[in-house]
Amino acid sequence: MPDPAKSTAKPAKQPVNKTRFTDSQVAVTRVGILGCGTVGGALVDLISQRAAAIEESVGIRLEVRHIAVRNLEADRGPAVNPDWLSTDSNAVATAEDVDIVIELLGGIEPARELILGALNAGKPVITGNKELVANHGAELFAAAAKNKVDFLFEAAVAGAIPILRPLRESLLGEDVIRIMGIVNGTTNFILTRMTEDGASYDEALTEAQELGYAEADPTADVEGFDAGAKAAIMASIAFGVEVVANDVHHEGISNIDQTDIAFANRLGYRIKLLAIAEVFGTGANKEVDVRVHPVMVPLTHPLASVRGSFNAIFVEGAAAGELMFYGRGAGGDPTSSAVLGDLVDAAVNLRGNTFLPVPAGAPAVIRSIDEVDSAYYLNMEVGDAPGVLAEVAGVFGQNGVSIGSMEQTGLGDDARLVFITHIAKERALQQTLIELGELGSVRAIRSVLRVIED
Ligand SMILES: NC(=O)c1ccc[n+]([C@@H]2O[C@H](COP(=O)([O-])OP(=O)(O)OC[C@H]3O[C@@H](n4cnc5c(N)ncnc54)[C@H](OP(=O)(O)O)[C@@H]3O)[C@@H](O)[C@H]2O)c1
């Protein structure tokens, strides 16, 4: 028999009571959820999984009380108590036994009316609705401010990635100069498949639809509307001005083909759909440039390595320098994680009788796309004859657009000229395109992409 006195075995760990809050210290927060689809359903699951840990950590007990849906018969999974379900979304938004309302319906109406109803009933509101915030943010912010309650919408931009809270809080003292983001997973997936596997645009889009990344009607994603709404929200928060979806210049990716992808690869770039927001000047002279379009990103830039359906946001600050936020930009679980983060914040604020001030700002002065400075990639079909290059180069020169590099490829009907320019004004580039189009030797301008210089 071993001598217990000499045993080196560690004594069994005694369970430690780690509870930091007594029952009387725990605040119960009653939650009403509008919508129980991809995000709402995942949120109910996540609350049931994380509720104990949240209570342990911050002394808040989250209790779902009501959920508004359209169809009471649909299977909602084991985390949803059927007694919570109702088709009366107004009643859920203003219920007396609900402290915080979460809007996960999507679209403008009835989401807007329901959120206003909840805010005016004195309830903090959380939403993931980018379309609504980008089009009606000012009205909702005003209602939240008037009622002195939280209005939080982290999930509206880039799913799980915390970007609005860092912009609103961690970077509050920072002079944010520029934000560039890959904020649409569908288009990044399509461009990645085209780049890495040689898929055509149509093949990559079909695959994205089969995998559930793209809608049957992919317009909002591929034409840049979805990214535009997110760009407007980020610009509003980062620059303290009101930017709405309509202020955003957007171009999509549906014209990108394998020729552009091949040139980008050869020249050391990746083509990405970027949401870009920049600020110029201060005070009354402040101007904001917000746009979404495909960009040739040098392989050395961190955004070039963001593959598949992932999102990333690159923030440049005067003091902080370059920061990058990376992760899953959509999907039930990632998005519900951002919603739950907002919910815990709002519950803690409610207990403390406080709220996060809304991003109030006057309507932004938007810098016209004509005034934007960029380098450009141009790919054109030209006649295969002596003197064409000089003629084309002459048009660039007359418009003050200087050429950084040039490639001549193909022969006969396949003759192409590809240029990368130095930084030029968009207005000068557009005039160059008009004049190139008038040259008999230029058969077609196949594509024009903006370029981030290495
Ligand atoms: N899905 C994502 O990856 C993602 C990512 C970021 C942000 N978001 C945003 O999150 C929000 C929700 O998106 P989702 O993908 O979860 O949408 P979804 O799957 O279509 O779910 C919508 C839910 O709202 C309910 N609903 C719609 N209209 C209603 C009405 N008038 N009254 C009562 N219930 C109604 C639907 O009820 P039924 O189930 O009965 O039809 C469904 O449960 C949107 O604003 C979206 O932009 C989504």
CA of 61 to the centre of ligand 1 (A): 25
CA nearest ligand 1 atom 44, residue: 106
For residue 405, the tally of other CB atoms under 10 A from its CB is: 11
pLDDT at residue 186, rounded to an integer: 97
Q: Which atom of ligand 1 is nearest to the CA of 40?
A: 16
Residues with a CB atom less than 6 Å from ligand 1:
35-40, 68-71, 74, 89, 104-106, 110, 128-130, 155, 159, 330-331, 335
* 104 Cα to the center of ligand 1, angstroms: 5
pLDDT tens digits, one per residue of 63-110: 999 999 999 999 999 999 999 999 999 999 999 999 999 999 999 999
Cα 159 to Cα 161: distance, rounded to the nearest angstrom: 6
Q: What is the pLDDT of residues 119-155, one digit of tens each?
A: 999 999 999 999 999 999 999 999 999 999 999 999 9
Which residues of 268-320 form beta strands (DSSP E)?
269-280, 287-298, 310-317
Nearest protein CA to atom 27 of ligand 1, as residue: 105
CA distance 447 to 431: 15
| The domains spanning 27-159 and 164-327 adopt the same CATH topology | no
Which CATH code is given to the segment(s) 27-159? 3.40.50.720
DSSP 242: B
350 and 100 Cβ atoms separated by less than 8 Å = yes
Boundaries of every domain in the chain: 27-159, 164-327, 369-451
| CA–CA dist 65, 76 (Å, integer) | 15
- What pLDDT does 23 receive? 86
**Structural contact between residues 229 and 245, judged by C-beta atoms closer than 8 angstroms:** yes
- For the chain, the C-alpha Rg in angstroms (whole number) is 26
Set 146, 230, 272, 425: catalytic member: 230
Residue 283 has pLDDT above 90, yes or no: no
Residue 32 has pLDDT above 60, yes or no: yes
**Residue 439 DSSP code:** -
Ligand 1 atom at shortest distance from the alpha carbon of 129: 45
Residue 230 falls in the annotated catalytic set:
yes
Ligand 1: centre distance to CA 126 (Å): 14
**Of the residues 70, 101, 103, 133, which should be mutated to test ligand 1's pocket, given the most ligand atoms within 8 Å of the CB?**
70
Fold for the domain defined by 164-327: Dihydrodipicolinate Reductase; domain 2 (3.30.360)
Q: What is the CATH number of domain 369-451?
A: 3.30.70.260
**Helical ranges in 156-303 per DSSP H:** 164-165, 185-197, 201-210, 219-222, 225-239, 258-267
